Structure 1
Amino acid sequence: MKKSLLVLSACLLGFSAFSQTIDEVYTKYITTAGGAANGDKIKTMKITGTLTVQGMDLPLIQHIISGRGVKTDVEVMGSSVQFSYLDGAGWKINPYGGAPEATAMDESELADFRDQTAPVSPLFDSKKNGDKLELAGEETLPDGKAWKIKATSKDGRVTEYFVNSTSFDLVKSVSKRTVNGAEMNVEAGYGDYKLVEGVRLPFSLSTSGGPVNQAITIEKYEINVPVDEKIFAKP
């Protein structure tokens, strides 16, 4: 009898662990973020903020054309660091990273910046982009429990997203990147969410695990402002 109860208990625990499906978790995330309709209304975005790296606070401006392009400009001690991606092609100018003149991005960089063309988040656009999504369990993070979503893109890249189990905000992502020929796990954090024109957006972001740890504080998001495609042109 006791053995039967133990078996029954184990079955019930197993049922509880998988009571949420990937569709349910993903739908709750999309709803929390503002809903697909509001997200799809965003055609362009301008982000103004401050990048904090190696003890320096650097002005940052980013322009996004949804699903097509992203241009990031950072001022560093009088120099301009630029990253530009549009329709599958990209270039960078980074005097502090071995690219004092406009240099073509490699395949890994192109993939990273292609993800950044999603105005709300890459996870928000995952299904639209044809990614395969799997619910990979629930983990305990410093800010509480989070659902772990494994997203596999059409080209085989895997990103793990962590969605808070209570708020259903995206709080973390983990992906592999190739930097200077070496593959490493890069972790991104998202927080301080606020509502902007019907969409919840993070005003605090961070990355760790790459060449340097970085934090970004967003001052403002401007939605559906004019973005001149000339800014993406390689000098």
Structure 2
Amino acid sequence: MTRIALWVLVGCLTAAVYASEQIPAHDLSADQIVEKNIAARGGLDAWRKIQTMVWVGHVDSANTPEEELPFALALKRPNKTRFEITVLNRRAVRMFDGKQGWKVSPSATGSGEVRPYTMDELRSAHDEQVIDGLLIDHQAKGVDVTLDGVDKVDGHDAYRLGVKLPSGVIRHVWVDAQSFLDVKNDREARGPHGPVTVVVKYSDYKEVEGLQIPFTIESGAAASGKSDKLTIEKVSLNPPLADGMFTRPGSPGRRNSVSINAELPPPTLPALSRPSP
């Protein structure tokens, strides 16, 4: 065999091996993909032990007056959330107690009106599966999962799973065919001119006490081509979070008016503080 022929053969074999490593196993079922996803993320037992979680980091967005806006996100089972973000040294807060939600936006005077979630916001909040997402324990949550196909996500093959929520809403979750970690999902949201598809991408996974958690999350309307980037700097697992953090702020005597700096439940936990540089 000539040197050129040998080189061609080696090249073909190398390409074949590389291709076999990149092509996903198409004979996997949806349940098998979910099982591999759960294992890749740290395992079912480990996730079931997580009752509360706190993320601290910053947000970069073209729609805000500042870069690297500090945020803190507190999560508590079964479906409680509290999101705080600081804009121009003023704190905006959104909270959901599992049934009702409220939001407070900062104003020039340092106070803001407590407003309830809209019906669309409530429906979206009820559909979220905080802490462990849609795939873990999906049958117990009443979530149906089907395998819809394989797509390219940032140049890598990913399984596209169709996810039907108890509300009847259908979303999609993309699971990387090699790492079996979540890399993308989508959901429908109401925009100023009608429904829009919001795409969320996950990357920069890091291990936190045995769990794989994405430290970079980008989201935006699919048609716009623009996205907001959320960078996580610190994750705390199972910190003590009082239920009062997720309930409506203010007192009965003040109607819906509230001082953001004085009356909102303060983020007193060390886990809610930004880490030192």
State the TM-score, normalizing by the size of structure 2. 0.73
* Partner residue of 1:23 out of 23, 26, 31: 31
Secondary structure at the counterpart of residue 101 of structure 2: strand
**In the alignment, does 2:172 pair up with 1:164?**
no
Distance 1:18 1:52 in 2: 37
Distance 1:221 1:125 in 2: 22
Aligned to 2:271: none
**Residue identity in the other structure for 2:131:** P
Residue 106 of structure 1: CA displacement?
Answer: 1.8
| Structure with greater proportional strand content | 1
**In the alignment, does 2:53 pair up with 1:45?**
yes
Aligned to 2:87: 76
In the alignment, structure 1 segments of 5+ residues that lack a partner are: 1-15
Aligned to 1:174: 186
Distance 2:232 2:127 in 1: 19
Distance 1:157 1:125 in 2: 18
Aligned to 2:70: 59
Distance 1:114 1:83, change over 3 A: same
Aligned to 1:101: 113
**In the alignment, does 2:165 pair up with 1:153?**
yes
Moved more, 38-47 or 85-94: 85-94
Residue 154 of structure 1: CA displacement?
Answer: 1.0
Query: What percentage of aligned pairs have identical amino acids?
Result: 24
**Residue identity in the other structure for 1:67:** P
State the TM-score, normalizing by the size of structure 1. 0.85
Aligned to 1:226: 240
What is the aligned-residue RMSD (CA, Å)? 2.3
Aligned to 2:208: 196
Aligned to 2:100: 89
Aligned to 1:3: none
Aligned to 1:141: 153
Secondary structure at the counterpart of residue 34 of structure 2: helix
Q: Which has the larger radius of gyration?
A: 2
1:65–1:117 contact (8 Å) kept in structure 2: no
In the alignment, structure 2 segments of 5+ residues that lack a partner are: 1-23, 250-277
Distance 1:114 1:218 in 2: 24
Distance 1:179 1:83, change over 3 A: farther
Moved more, 128-137 or 106-115: 106-115
Distance 1:182 1:102 in 2: 26
